[in-house]
């Protein structure tokens, strides 16, 4: 482990690990070792934590926010909080799980405190989005196979519909139905009970379906 | 006619993850029920939208690590406010309002002070009510009633009562 390598008692200076060797050691250190070092104020160890877990933190934050600036802000705040709360990580579960939970709760609170869109109307839909809906109405079975351009239109439309829903609904839908995360994993991420996750998913699907039905009403010209 | 069983199936899982058996049941019912058909289409579209949204993930830039470390250093170097200052910032306005209320109540207490209220206080200490007939007759304005003896007053008092009774 690195602390022994950095502070070898009695070792002469020419036998101390070089900078390159330290970097390799850091990269090979386990999460628990890195956390232990970062707690002691080792910035390189924390930097490695950020490098290693950025993809996961960004993935979670992307479920809540779509703009790069917002996602980066949430991810940065998650790492800063993680740094100040490292002492609360007891090493029982995986560090990634702990960090995921912290990020999820942080993002949930950020979305909850943000002002929600009052309502969405068909006037908010672009021509592309209306066309996408028309096509899906005609052939709903094609919905899974979308070109990248069509996917972008669908993602824009999804964002509009999801923004009408509560942060909790949005979270369970994107995780369970979008990312195919299990109920148990969502419960671990959020700290909710599994039954709460299931109930939330049921209700979220209903609300999402009703919102889409509203968009599909004949009077909406879709 | 709308079938709650179909609707529950649509809410139990994403429409694009229904089993073949479930899909067959739903589609056969939807073929003769416009309401359930609409719900089924909406559920499938919802599932497609959610998948499209979930497929989007913002990736970290190579500079993100540097940005976080810079923000961390900034926070570490910025002077940490004492706990009392932080508390005051958080609850200062509430404490100010509460203090103002207390001052107003104290002011009202002294403003409404009167001799009667002092008498009320002495009543509490002596155990004699200032509203009792005996107090009014014998204690209050003693200087005016000095000429009367207690028994004379009582005789007058009870005679008047007997006269009323008759």
Kindly report, residue by residue over B4-62, the tens digit of the pLDDT. 778 888 888 888 888 899 999 988 888 888 888 888 989 998 998 898 888 888 999 98
Number of other residues whose CB lies within 10 A of the CB of residue B138 = 15
- Find which of A57, A73, A125, A154 to mutate to test the B interface (most B CBs within 10 Å of its CB): A154
Tokens of A28: 């090979």
Question: Residues of B numbered 70-129 whose beta carbons fall under 8 angstroms of chain A's beta carbons: which are they?
Answer: 71-72, 75
pLDDT 10s digits, A142-189 = 545 556 666 778 888 888 888 888 899 999 999 999 889 999 999 998
Residues 6+ apart with CB under 8 A from A43: B69, B72
Q: In angstroms, rounded to a whole number, what is the distance separating the alpha carbons of residues B75 and A31?
A: 24
Helix, strand, coil percent values for chain A (each to nearest 5): 75, 0, 25
Tokens of A13: 């200076």
Tokens of A132: 């996408």
* Contacts with A58 from chain B: Cβ below 8 Å: 57-60
ipTM, two decimals: 0.73
Smallest Cα–Cα separation from A65: which of B104, B102, B101, B57?
B57
Residue A13 pLDDT: 46
CATH numbers and ranges of domains, chain A: 2-113 (1.10.1740.10), 122-220 (1.10.10.10)
Helix (H, G, I), strand (E, B) or coil at B90: helix
What single-letter DSSP state applies at residue A207? H
Q: In angstroms, rounded to a whole number, what is the distance separating the alpha carbons of residues B139 and B145?
A: 9
Q: In angstroms, rounded to a whole number, what is the distance separating the alpha carbons of residues B14 and A205?
A: 8
Q: Is the per-residue pLDDT at A112 higher than 90? A: no
């Amino acid at each position: 482990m690195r602390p022994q390598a950095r502070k070898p008692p009695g070792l002469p200076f020419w036998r101390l690990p070089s900078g390159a060797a330290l970097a390799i050691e850091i990269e090979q250190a386990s999460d628990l070792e890195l956390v232990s070092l970062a707690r002691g104020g080792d910035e390189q160890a924390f930097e490695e934590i950020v490098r290693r877990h950025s993809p996961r933190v960004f993935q979670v934050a992307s479920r809540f926010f779509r703009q790069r600036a917002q996602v980066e802000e949430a991810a940065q705040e998650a790492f800063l909080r993680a740094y100040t709360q490292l002492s609360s990580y007891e090493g029982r579960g995986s560090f990634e799980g702990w960090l995921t939970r912290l990020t999820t709760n942080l993002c949930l609170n950020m979305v909850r405190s943000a002002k929600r869109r009052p309502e969405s109307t068909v006037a908010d839909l672009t021509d592309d989005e209306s066309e996408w809906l028309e096509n899906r109405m005609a052939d709903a079975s094609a919905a899974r196979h979308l070109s990248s351009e069509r996917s972008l239109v669908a993602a824009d439309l999804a964002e509009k519909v999801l923004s009408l829903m509560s942060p909790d609904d949005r979270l369970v839908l994107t995780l369970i139905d979008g990312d195919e995360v299990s109920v148990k994993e969502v419960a671990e991420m959020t700290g909710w009970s599994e039954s709460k996750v299931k109930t939330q998913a049921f209700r979220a699907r209903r609300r999402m379906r009703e919102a889409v039905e509203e968009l599909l009403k004949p009077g909406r010209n879709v | 006619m709308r079938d709650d069983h179909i609707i529950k199936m649509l809410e139990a899982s994403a429409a694009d993850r229904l089993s073949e058996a479930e899909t067959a049941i739903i589609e056969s019912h939807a073929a003769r029920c416009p309401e359930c058909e609409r719900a089924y289409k909406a559920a499938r579209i919802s599932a497609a939208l959610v998948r499209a949204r979930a497929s989007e993930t913002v990736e970290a830039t190579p500079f993100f690590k540097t940005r976080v470390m810079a923000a961390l250093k900034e926070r570490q170097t910025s002077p940490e406010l004492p706990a009392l200052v932080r508390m005051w910032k958080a609850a200062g306005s509430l404490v100010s309002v509460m203090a103002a209320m207390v001052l107003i109540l104290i002011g009202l207490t002294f403003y409404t002070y009167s001799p009667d209220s002092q008498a009320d206080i002495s009543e509490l200490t002596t155990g004699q009510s200032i509203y009792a007939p005996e107090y009014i007759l014998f204690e209050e304005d003693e200087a005016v009633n000095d000429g009367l003896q207690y028994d004379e007053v009582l005789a007058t008092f009870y005679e008047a009562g007997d006269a009323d009774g008759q």
